[in-house]
Amino acid sequence: MLNIILFGAPGSGKGTQSEKLVAHFGLKHLSTGDLLRGEIAAKTPLGLEAKALMDMGQLVPDEVVIGMISSALENNPQAKGFLFDGFPRTVAQAEALDKLLALKKSEIKAVLALHVTEEELVKRLLNRGLTSGRSDDNNESIIRARIVEYNNKTSVVAEYYKSFDKVKSIEGEGTVNEIFSSLCTAINSLELL
């Protein structure tokens, strides 16, 4: 299986690039943000709990997202690989993912880390907030809180995977197609290994 993590701060292009990558490589896209927004739209108890945290720019509890990913892995036994988008966001989530994949006799092949400056992140998310209807995108202080949460809890996930030599840094500023091309080059170099 080809399992890839697309890693980066909020607004770094994970969702944008994931759509193109799954179409190109035939992977199953697993976005915890999309799964959580699905729960919110369906007004489930989990969705209501998640919405309150997401609206403050905070992470949803680890056990909630790990449970969602565990179900998604079980529900897709035929997948030739997974593209994880926005997950894992904490070291506890990363350790849980490694265990879930080990049960499938599989592992993360690479972590592709998109690098974008904070001012560009804020600009992109405020811009998306004009049309997305997402309550976490239309207020600069919430966007900055999400970036603080990323710096405090998520950036260490890259260190975790660096210790296994799995991280590839990708320039995340440029056109969508330029960044897609860099990601494809990184993935193709893996498949040749």
Which residues contribute to the site for ligand B4P (CB under 6 A)? 10-16, 32-33, 36, 53-54, 58-60, 65, 86-87, 89, 93, 124-125, 127-128, 136, 146, 176, 179
Closer residue to ligand B4P, CB minimum distance, 82 or 87: 87
Closest approach, Cβ 193 to ligand B4P, in A, equals 27
Closer residue to ligand B4P, CB minimum distance, 104 or 128: 128
Closer residue to ligand B4P, CB minimum distance, 78 or 100: 100
Residue nearest to ligand B4P (CB): 33
Closest approach, Cβ 57 to ligand B4P, in A, equals 6
Give the residue among 108, 39, 30, 44 at the shortest CA–CA distance from 76: 30
Distances (CA, A) of 164 to 61, 107, 108, 111, 141: 25, 11, 10, 10, 35
Q: How close are the terminal C-alpha atoms of the chain, in Å? A: 14
- b vs e for 151-172, b when ≥16 Cβ sit within 10 Å of the residue's Cβ? eebbeebbebbeeeebbbebeb
CA atoms within a 13 Å half-sphere pointing along the CA-CB vector of 46: 16
Closest approach, Cβ 136 to ligand B4P, in A, equals 6
Closest approach, Cβ 33 to ligand B4P, in A, equals 2
Closer residue to ligand B4P, CB minimum distance, 7 or 78: 7
Closer residue to ligand B4P, CB minimum distance, 64 or 190: 64
